[in-house]
Amino acid sequence: MINKTKVYYGEEGCIHTCQDHFLKEIRCEKCGAPARITMTVSEQIPEQHERDKIIYATDLYHKDDRMWIHDICSVAIYFCPQCLHASVEWNQF
C-alpha cells in the first residue's frame, strides 16, 4: 500500500486542509484557554494510477450503519499550554 499522508508542524499546517484553513488557535475544550495548533495530518489526493493501492482513514473500519469519514481528510491537533489537553479539528474533501 502507498501512504499519501503528510504531517505538518505548527502554523505551517493551517493551510493543509480539505476545506477552510485551520485556525492557529482554538478554545480549549477542557479549560477554555487558547489552544495552539501543533500539527496537521493531511491525506493527499492520489494520482490516477495510485488509487487502487492507497489506504485512507475512510478504509480503516467497516462502516455498517454508523457515521464514518466518507472521503480523504485532514486533522489538526491543538494543545492547551494551560492544562495540556489535546483538542482536534478535522474536515474532509
* Gyration radius (Cα) of the chain, Å: 15
Lookup result for grid cell 494543545:
79
Q: What pTM value is reported for the model?
A: 0.82
Domain tally, the chain = 1
- DSSP states of 25-65: EEE-TTT-SEEEEEEEEEEPPPPGGGGGGB--GGGSS--TT
Q: pLDDT band at residue 83, thresholds of 50, 70 and 90?
A: very high
Structural domain range at position 10? 5-92
pLDDT tens digits for range 40-72? 999 887 776 676 777 778 777 776 767 777 788
Task: Report how far Cα 75 is from the mean position of its chain's Cα atoms.
Answer: 1
